[in-house]
């Protein structure tokens, strides 16, 4: 009888633990979605007063205004050496943000704006003693203070705060491209690509048959792309355009919607077939790229695969995109896809290269599924 009760207890634990864990994760995810949606509509916002130099303050204000889901609403700016005769407000994406004084007028600016948080973007004009006095003043007002370290596109795990000689120094760890992290990424790519290809093989066969019988030309489209360390490879996709699509680029060049002309983008491209439009909407044309992953030419997650002509325009900084394998999906895929400008996609790629991790890759894969099902930014 005791043994029977013990078995029931173990069975209950074996069921309750995974069910409870899944329930906890789903509830946290659902709540975050609710909060993010409310914030994007103007709710659950923290009123922020930004203090810093003109360029850094405007950069932060622009980031907050373009990411309402972050929960920060800018109600004012304090600029060093500000005089009333200068610009008294800035307009960012149609929103007017007032300049409420200089770095010494923070308390007065809080009373005028009603801010409950002060964000300091640059401390060189405030100084060590000025920042300490600000902390004391805000403590009396019960207003929160956040300080930007000025480290752009560096993820939290690489930032370590270490006090040295009574100074809190932020150490930026070097990004890791080799060793155990590289091995784990390679192993994950192989297992994930193999599993996906086995699962979707009926879909691949069906699409191949449809493409073959609905338009002239080959089933697959191969395009030369540049991989890790600038090595060229043939990227495989289902053909979604007419057979002579590459030859017609010049006659459509005037209609290019790609910012800067580096990439050819066209929302209603006449070269795309009817079947191709459906495939592109849900990124089905990119499924054969899992073969590139098995060939170790691409990764499941990584920077966008660049063209040779694109790489030839790279400067020293942008070439860092080539430190890792290009991916089927990446930050660019879950942040707007074709709607992104070339400059923004490069910024996202560099951010990925500097901060990639297996946890981040799994999160991007999950977000990709949501973006693809919602056909966000696809054309």
Q: With contact defined as beta carbons under 8 Å apart, do 227 and 326 qualify?
A: yes
Q: What's the rounded Cα separation, in Å, for the pair 128 and 361? A: 39
- Spatial neighbors of 337 by CB under 8 A, at least 6 apart, are 371, 376, 377, 378
Q: With contact defined as beta carbons under 8 Å apart, do 125 and 53 qualify?
A: yes
Give the distance, in angstroms, between the CA of residue 214 and the centroid of all CA atoms in the same chain: 36
Please tell me the predicted confidence (pLDDT) of residue 295.
96
Q: What's the rounded Cα separation, in Å, for the pair 207 and 285? A: 9
Nearest Cα to 160, choosing from 144, 145, 149, 152?
A: 149
Domain ranges in the chain?
A: 46-148, 180-373
Which residue reads 């090595």 in tokens?
Answer: 231
- CATH classification code of 46-148: 3.40.50.1980
Give the distance, in angstroms, between the CA of residue 283 and the centroid of all CA atoms in the same chain: 18
- Spatial neighbors of 300 by CB under 8 A, at least 6 apart, are 188, 189, 192, 193, 290, 293, 327, 328, 329, 361, 365
Give the CA distances from residue 227 to residues 18, 207, 236, 369, in Å, rounded to whole numbers and listed in that order.
40, 27, 13, 24
Q: What's the rounded Cα separation, in Å, for the pair 352 and 331? A: 7
Average pLDDT over the chain, rounded to an integer:
82
pTM of the entire predicted model:
0.66
The parts of the chain modelled with pLDDT lower than 70 are 1-14, 85-87, 150-158, 166-167, 174, 246-267, 336-340, 374-379
Q: With contact defined as beta carbons under 8 Å apart, do 134 and 144 qualify?
A: no
Please tell me the predicted confidence (pLDDT) of residue 123.
72
């Amino acid at each position: 009888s005791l043994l029977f009760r013990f078995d029931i207890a173990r069975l209950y634990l074996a069921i309750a633990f995974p069910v409870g864990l899944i329930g906890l994760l789903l509830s946290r995810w659902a709540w975050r979605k609710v909060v993010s949606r409310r914030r994007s509509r103007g709710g659950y916002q923290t009123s922020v007063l930004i203090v810093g130099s003109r360029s850094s303050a405007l950069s932060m204000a622009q980031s907050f205004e373009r990411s309402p889901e972050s929960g920060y609403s800018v109600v004012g700016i304090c600029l060093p050496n500000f005089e009333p005769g200068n610009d008294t407000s800035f307009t960012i994406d149609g929103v007017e943000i007032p300049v409420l004084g200089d770095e010494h007028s923070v308390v007065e600016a809080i009373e005028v704006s009603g801010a409950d948080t002060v964000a300091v973007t640059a401390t060189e004009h405030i100084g060590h003693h000025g920042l300490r006095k600000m902390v004391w003043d805000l403590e009396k007002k019960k207003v929160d203070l956040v300080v930007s370290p000025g480290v752009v596109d560096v993820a939290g795990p690489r930032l370590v705060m270490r006090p040295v000689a009574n100074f809190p120094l932020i150490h930026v760890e070097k990004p890791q491209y080799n060793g155990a992290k590289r091995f784990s990424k390679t192993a994950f790519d192989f297992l994930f690509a193999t599993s996906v290809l086995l699962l979707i093989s009926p879909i691949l066969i069906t699409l191949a048959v449809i493409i073959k019988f609905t338009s002239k030309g080959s089933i697959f489209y191969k395009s030369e792309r540049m991989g890790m360390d600038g090595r060229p490879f043939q990227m495989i996709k289902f053909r979604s355009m007419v057979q002579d699509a590459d030859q017609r680029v010049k006659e459509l060049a005037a209609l290019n919607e790609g910012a800067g002309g580096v990439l050819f983008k066209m929302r209603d491209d006449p070269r795309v077939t009817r079947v191709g439009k459906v495939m592109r909407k849900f990124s089905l044309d990119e499924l054969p790229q899992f073969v590139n992953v098995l060939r170790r030419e691409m990764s499941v997650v990584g920077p966008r695969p660049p063209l040779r002509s694109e790489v030839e325009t790279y400067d020293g900084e942008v070439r860092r995109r080539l430190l890792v394998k290009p991916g089927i999906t990446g930050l660019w895929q879950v942040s707007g896809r074709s709607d992104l400008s070339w400059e923004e996609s490069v910024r996202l790629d560099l951010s990925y290269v500097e901060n990639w991790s297996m946890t981040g890759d799994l999160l991007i894969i999950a977000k990709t599924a949501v973006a693809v099902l919602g056909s966000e930014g696809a054309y």
